[in-house]
Every structure is written in C-alpha cells, then in structure tokens.
A and B are shown apart, each in its own frame.
Chain A
Amino acid sequence: MPSFAHFFETFTGSTNVFIDAMLLTLELTAVSILVGIVIGLFFALLKISNIKILGLIADIYIYLVRGTPLIVQIFILYFGISGIFLLPDFWAAALALAFHNGAYIAEIFRGTIQSIDKGQMEAARSLGMTKSLALRRIILPQAFRRALPPLGNQFIIGLKDSSLAAFISMNELFNVATTLGSNNFDEMTYLLIVAVYYLILVAILTIIVNMIERKLAVSDR
C-alpha cells in the first residue's frame, strides 16, 4: 500500500488529467442515462401496450441486452457498427451504454407503470381523457416518481459501467488510472485515486436523485 503522503502527493499532482477524465466519464454517463431513459420508456410502453407483437419486440430487446455482457455489446458497436458506418468512439461507447441501461430502465418503468392503481386510468377515462392523455398526465408522472429509487440505483450502476469504455480507448477515469499506473509503475496508488473520483461522482449523483425525490414527494406532505 502507498503511504498516505505519497497518495496525497500523487492525487494533487494528477488532478488536471483526472478532471478531464472525470468530465468524459460524466458525459458518457449523462448521455447514456438520458438516452437510456428515452429508450427505456419507449420499450416499457411497448410492453404495456396490448399489441402482442410490440410486446414481443420489447421482450427480445430486453433479453438480448440482459443476456450478453456489456463489454461484448460495447465491442460489437465499436467494431461491428463502425465497420458499416463510422461511429465516433464516444458514440459507440455512449450508445452501447444507453442501450444497456435502457433495457434495465424499461423494466423499471414497466413495473412502476403497472403498479399504479387501475382505477387511476379508469378515473381519467371517465373524465373523457384519451388513453394517451391519461398516460401522459396521470399515470406516467406517478410511475416516474415511484421509479426514482430504482432509477437512482441504475444511474449509479451506469456511472460505474462507463469504466468499460476504457477498453475501446476512451480516456475516461478508469483508462487514465490504469495508464498512469503502469507508466509510473504505481498501479495501486492510481487505482485508489480513481476510486476516490468514482466515490465523489456517486455521492453527487445520489444527492441529485435525493433532491428530485424530495421535490416530487411534495404531494405526500
């Protein structure tokens, strides 16, 4: 183990590089979560639609994503799709992460949408609302609120999963840590440093999710 003094010195000496890497990690995470939410909502709606074929499409997507390792998916997008039309490295990683997160988020949304009392939809319909208006105004806002705790969980997983982008040479946190570690023959110090950065990011993410949860919980007070 490195001494604390050495750790501290290395930490402060490497902040420039790590902050750049952290920004890239953040960008990857933000894009993959936001796109993942859109994908997730889309497939959740396919699953709750009463049209069998749409539900089947959603099932297949979720099965393929959950059934294969994320690193395989990233490589497929990076090598495979890049071979057909050129995908910038960032987008190969971001989209792979987004499709990956999307499958899990789809299941989260499906579960929370179905957990809303059927009477809510009936009440909305009895007031003359169309199904889609009722979904948008009545069901989804409630479902989203219930989805927040598991979504927060998924966001954290997504943040840490972005480290796999290192394998397609994205200079995000994990890649920078391993590169600097091996260049300086000091792997352990850099791994501990990068762990601290992840902990900081997860703390920030947790605070943001908690803030949104509190804001949306106003109707319980």
Chain B
Amino acid sequence: MEEKRTMIRIKNLNKSFGDLHVLKDIDMKVLESDVVCLIGSSGSGKSTLLRCLNFLEKKDSGQIIIEGEEINPETQNMNKVREKVGMVFQHFQLFPHMTVLENIIEAPVHVKKVPKNEAIQEARDLLAKVGLEDKADVYPSKLSGGQKQRVAIARAMAMQPDILLFDEPTSALDPELVGEVLTTMKELAEEGMTMVVVTHEMGFAREVGDWIVFMHEGRIIESASSETFFNNPKEQRTKEFLKTTALK
C-alpha cells in the first residue's frame, strides 16, 4: 500500500492555563485524507488540542509540524498557515452583519485577493454542495443551527484549505439538526478532505472516522484505527468511556 503523506505531526506538546496542565506530552499525527476524531469527556483537553493546531491557543512547549514544516508562531506568518488549516466552530461564528454569500467570499476576496466574481461563483458552488444554494442572500439570523453550520463549513472550504478542523460542530444543535451537518461532513470526508474532528457523536466517529484519539485529563490514553478502537479497545479507561456512551 502506498504510504500516505503526514499532514500534521505533533511532538511532545504541552499546554497549561495557569496552574492547570491541560495538554500533557501530546504526540500524534494526522495522515492525508484521514478523518481523525478526538474524543473524551469534557475537560479532557481535546478542544484545546484542536485550537493549538490552528494557533488560536499558544503552545507552551513541543512541536507542531504542518505539511512537513515546523510552525513557530513567533517567527512565521500565522495567517499563511491558517489559510491551509480551516476551522469550524461549535457556535458557528458566522458574521451576522453579512449575508451567507458575503460570509463565504469575505476571506477569499480580502485575504487571498481572489477576484470578486470568481469568488462568488466558487461560493455558489460550495453552497450547492452543502444544499443551501437558495440561501445565498439571506442573513445568518434567518438560518437554523444546522444551516448555519453548513454555511460555516462552506466558508471554511472557500479558502481551499488542506486540513479542516471541527470543534464539536454538532454540540450546539437541536438533535434533529445534527444529521444534516454530519452528512455534509461525511461527504467532505469521502472527497478526501483531511479532517480533525472533536466530537461526542460516537456513531459518526465509528462510521466516518479513520483514526480515533481518546483523551483523558490532558493525555492521549488510546489512539487506534476506528475499527480497533471500537471493537477491541485496549485500555481500561477507554472501555469505561465507551460503556458510558451508547455504543459499546
């Protein structure tokens, strides 16, 4: 089998908030077109880890290597790095003063300097892809949570990132709206997008995830392929955690 390219490599990452040591010696990698799901109970550090990958949090020590290049926020242009790594947030964070279309073209036009009509065309294609082509000209306040999150995914995609990070993308949604967002994410995964997803949706992790990373109190307890993880978990903690979720 052909070796997959390593998109993200994390070595010995540590992070504290004051006295609270939230990430302890994190080592992991993300391979090209893999879907890596970060799971664990609240406060396990999974969201912080994800935010470190986009440099929204500053690491204390360790290395973050993205597409073979070690990223050092002190010396590098973070904005260039962030163009490669998109992010989808739990609370969507659409820009409320802009229409759906304006939300999507904002960064391509003002950051990448894509000509406006080109960006609009691209945005309409993306909206069609997430099934919201008829919502181009409405404001976010008119959308349901699920629609907002699909727009947020389209907005992140508009920068043509190599990697997409998802921070609990369905946690703020009404239960009946979770499915449409997961479907959109699944379609992205099938197209070969490299994704790192912090999630509580075990069904999604099992079905779509290629690799599962289970965290507890700031440490990676177990890291395995989705199949191995759910069918043959090695660690006692993992077994306990899986028992508390619906899937055993």
Residues of A whose CB lies within 8 Å of any CB of B are: 117, 119-120, 122-130, 133, 137-138, 141-142, 145, 216, 218-221
Contacts of A122 in B (CB 8 A): 56, 89, 93
Q: Of A129, A145, A218, A220, which contacts B107 at CB under 8 A?
A: A129
Residues of B whose CB lies within 8 Å of any CB of A are: 54, 56, 78-80, 82-83, 85-87, 89, 91, 93-99, 106-107, 110-112, 139-141, 155-156, 159
Contacts of B97 in A (CB 8 A): 141-142, 145, 216, 219
Query: Taking CB as reference atom, which chain A residue is nearest B108?
Result: A127
Beyond A142-B96, A219-B139, whether A126 also contacts B54 by CB under 8 A is yes
Q: How far is the CB of A126 from chain B (nearest CB, A)?
A: 4
- How far is it, in angstroms, between the C-alpha of A38 and the C-alpha of B133 when the chains are bound? 40
Query: Taking CB as reference atom, which chain A residue is nearest B165?
Result: A126
Contacts of B79 in A (CB 8 A): 125, 128-130
Task: Indicate if the CB atoms of A117 and B93 lie closer than 8 Å.
Answer: yes
Contacts of A145 in B (CB 8 A): 97
- How far is it, in angstroms, between the C-alpha of A117 and the C-alpha of B89 when the chains are bound? 13
Beyond A119-B89, A122-B93, A128-B80, whether A137 also contacts B106 by CB under 8 A is yes
Task: Indicate if the CB atoms of A133 and B110 lie closer than 8 Å.
Answer: yes
Task: Indicate if the CB atoms of B93 and A128 lie closer than 8 Å.
Answer: no
Can you list 18 A-B contacts with CB-CB less than 8 angstroms, sorted by A residue number?
Answer: A125-B78, A125-B79, A126-B56, A126-B82, A127-B83, A127-B106, A127-B107, A128-B79, A128-B82, A128-B83, A128-B112, A137-B110, A142-B95, A218-B139, A219-B140, A219-B141, A220-B139, A220-B141
Beyond contacts A122-B56, A218-B139: 17 other A-B pairs, Cβ-Cβ < 8 A, are A117-B91, A117-B93, A122-B89, A123-B94, A126-B56, A127-B82, A127-B106, A127-B159, A128-B107, A129-B107, A133-B110, A137-B106, A142-B95, A142-B97, A219-B97, A219-B98, A219-B139
Q: Of B78, B93, B155, B156, which contacts A120 at CB under 8 A?
A: B93
Contacts of B140 in A (CB 8 A): 219
Q: How far is the CB of B21 from chain A (nearest CB, A)?
A: 23
Query: Taking CB as reference atom, which chain B residue is nearest A116?
Result: B96
- How far is it, in angstroms, between the C-alpha of A129 and the C-alpha of B158 when the chains are bound? 14
Task: Indicate if the CB atoms of A127 and B111 lie closer than 8 Å.
Answer: yes
Task: Indicate if the CB atoms of B93 and A119 lie closer than 8 Å.
Answer: yes
- How far is it, in angstroms, between the C-alpha of A1 and the C-alpha of B87 when the chains are bound? 70
- How far is it, in angstroms, between the C-alpha of A25 and the C-alpha of B118 when the chains are bound? 50
Q: How far is the CB of B137 from chain A (nearest CB, A)?
A: 12
- How far is it, in angstroms, between the C-alpha of A221 and the C-alpha of B98 when the chains are bound? 12
Q: How far is the CB of A221 from chain B (nearest CB, A)?
A: 7
Task: Indicate if the CB atoms of A126 and B86 lie closer than 8 Å.
Answer: yes
Q: Of A126, A138, A220, which contacts B95 at CB under 8 A?
A: A138
Task: Indicate if the CB atoms of A120 and B111 lie closer than 8 Å.
Answer: no
Task: Indicate if the CB atoms of A123 and B89 lie closer than 8 Å.
Answer: yes
Q: How far is the CB of A73 from chain B (nearest CB, A)?
A: 36
Query: Taking CB as reference atom, which chain B residue is nearest A142?
Result: B97
Beyond A117-B93, A219-B139, A219-B141, whether A125 also contacts B82 by CB under 8 A is yes
